[in-house]
Amino acid sequence: MTDILIFIAAVVLVGQAIIGLAFFISCIWEREARATVFAGIQFLGMAALAGLFFFIRGAGFFESTPGLALLIAGLISGIFITVLLMRKSGTNPKALEGTKGLIAGDVKRFDEREQVFARNRTMRPGSEQYNIFYKEHPEYEEFDRQRREKGGVNGRPGSIDKPYGQPNIAAAGAGREMCRQLSTPAMVKPQALPIFQGKKVEMNPEEASERIKGFTRNLGADMVGITEISPLWLYSQRGEIFHENWEDWGKEIVNTHKYAIVFGTEMSFSVISAAPHTPTSIESSTQYAKGAFIATSLARYVANLGYSATANHLRYYDALMVPLAVDAGLGELGRHGYMITKKLGPRLRLGAVTTDLPLIPDGPVDIGVEDFCRICKKCAVCCPSHSIPEGDQAMHNGTRRWKLNAETCFDYWGKVGTGCNICMRVCPWSHARTFPHRLIVEWVARNHLARRIFNLMDDIFYGRKPKARSGPRWAKYDGPWE
């Protein structure tokens, strides 16, 4: 009996030391100097504990009554701690309702014309649309005028890294232009190719869903889900114009499709690690370009099957992407306004295709995000423009949630000339999905106590205000090329 207990204890201690070593290696790979030091100390402690165990085992201590008692006590403690951290703390019923769980009053559809991008990027001073909008919304006019004088939403592109970041800004512009090219009416609302016109492929919803998801992943999506569309998350009026189709500006957005196929593409951990510097603009634009390619290709596929489809991506949206993604079961809404996923945290960009093709919806998920964000607050602490609330959730347009201040957020974008992404970088869910981090995510997704423990550990290992890293050499921004 004693030998069995010794064997179990040895396996546990060696196993935790191996996990400690894996985390140490992960920190080196992540190029996190602070975390590497703490992870190294942690691993040495674990290894020393395992070494001490084998030393006193060799001395025969566990054959004695006190030794056996210590062994049993240690195993019981380990089992208790493991059960305490691994047990399911209970579900969040609001999360399992998706966006319905956030609704606490009357929700008004959002007018795309009021969006900060549409106001500062689309409307031209002196135009008919400009005069109409600011007559209806005088509260924005002076604020937006001052912003335009400073360069608009994007400010002076790459100003934070001038002059060395300009190649990165050129790369980011290439991605955004690809999105614009793929946003023409023929691309976002495609017709079937001539050989498929007049034909409808009959499939049951199960087969159609599997084919659609498989095709979407094959196009390059890292996550994909399906939801029935709530009309609340459709924009009310068109506000963004990219192809001189000004007759569409201000028109009511009508989408008769029942389903949305929502997907996400991963934002590179190594590139995002440089946020708010210019490499992060490359990654945002690159993933938006991938999303535009996936959305337009998927919409064309659905059209070829004989059904109606509309592609939603950076340069054409009928709907708000995050609510659709939450309802499609990709993740939960975080404090910073991004959706947080179990697979990638907030490190992804979203796109969608709406359609009348009969599909099987996925259900919303509960991975503990609301509870974690209530504890964490790191994104709010690190936000340079104080645009993310540190307090409790509050009512906004009939929903109870944390609400990002888009005005101050985008003013900071203008100041640095990038897409910022600091909140994405510092979010504890954003760590690279190495084995130790995947293990931690599993615990955090299940257990309230684990969320508190690993939240504290993240502050200790990575710092309460983690510093930006240099990013990959090909996106160098902090000095002349050597």
Q: CA geometry: angle at 60 spanning 57 and 65, to 5°?
A: 105
Q: b/e per residue, 249-267, with b = 16+ CB within 10 A?
A: bbeebebebebbbbbbbbb
- Which segments in the chain show pLDDT lower than 70? 151-155
Helices (H), 30-137: 33-58, 65-86, 93-96, 116-117, 128-136
Q: Which amino acid is at 438?
A: R
Answer whether the bond into residue 276 is a cis peptide, omega within 30°: yes
Whose tokens are 């014309």? That residue is: 113
Provide the 8-state DSSP code for 361.
P
CA distance 98 to 330: 10
pLDDT for res 152: 63
CA distance 170 to 457: 38
What H or E segment, with its residue span, contains residue 378?
A: helix 378-382
pLDDT for res 57: 87
Q: Do β-strands 394-396 and 399-401 pair in parallel, antiparallel, or remain unpaired? A: antiparallel
Answer whether the bond into residue 163 is a cis peptide, omega within 30°: yes
Max alpha carbon distance in the chain (Å)?
91
